Structure 1
Amino acid sequence: MFDEYLEIANGDVQIANALYRIMEDLAANGTGMIQEMAQDVVEGGSLRAAFFSGIYAEDIEGPFQNFWKAYQEMPAEERLEVQTQTREYLNTQGG
Structure 2
Amino acid sequence: MPLGNLFDGPHLIIFALVILVLFGATKLPIFAKGLGQSIKIFRKEVTDVQDDMAKDRKQRSDEHMDREPVVVPESQARRASEDR
- Give the TM-score normalised by structure 1: 0.30
**Which structure is higher in RCO with an 8 Å CA cutoff and minimum separation 6?**
1
- Give the TM-score normalised by structure 2: 0.33
Which structure has the bigger radius of gyration? 2
